A and B are shown apart, each in its own frame.
Chain A
């Protein structure tokens, strides 16, 4: 079972460059998320998509944009990368209506360094 798949796994960007992180899930979940994880900070929500066609800001949305392309895919775009965006990015999905308390399933992470 693939679960949540995200690409690329590693990326080095120069300040000011743009890039898109891709994510797809095969669990037929309605909700998808992008988190970033920094040492000592825990996981912080960047954006989420409650269902196909909707997106909402999370805790730390500045500098990012997202697209919910269809039910399976949710991409994260950095328009002009900054060193403060050096982090590990996790895509995730869940389905609040499945009665599992909104358990979140994560992709393997994308390690992004901005120099």
Chain B
């Protein structure tokens, strides 16, 4: 079993749609959680951290369920510019950071 698992997609959605990505992780002792965004042939960049109480940044909402070891990302009112690969990332509190393989999103006009 992979340490961080994501649905690879691709997700094809029209502009304005709401789309949700899910991620599961295997290490119950994991301490920090993130979503990164990676554009084609570019480096990953931090999209947002994920907190236990859930958090929102504009059109993006992240949720964490420690009991189920599950992380989600919700994107509302999708824009063409949201097309990218979204990486679920888990850190053990030290130097072990595990990246999921990513979920590809295509937003169509």
Contact = CB atoms under 8 A, between A and B. Distances in A.
A48 B46 CA distance: 19
B94 interface: yes
Contacts of A101: 31-34, 49, 91
A106 B100 contact: no
A31 interface: yes
Q: Give the bracket for the number of chain A residues in contact with chain B.
A: 20 to 34
A20 to B, nearest CB: 20
The listed residue with most A CB atoms (<10 A of its CB), out of B31, B33, B34, is B34
A35 B45 CA distance: 14
Interface string A20-50: 0000000000010001000011110100101
B95 A48 contact: yes
Interface residues of B, number: 24
B87 interface: yes
Contacts of B41: 109
A18 interface: no
Contacts of B70: none
Contacts of A102: 32, 91, 93-95, 97
Interface string A102-115: 11111111000000
B101 A109 contact: no
A100 B31 CA distance: 12
A74 interface: no
A96 B95 contact: yes
| 3 A-B pairs closest in CB distance | A101-B32, A42-B101, A106-B43
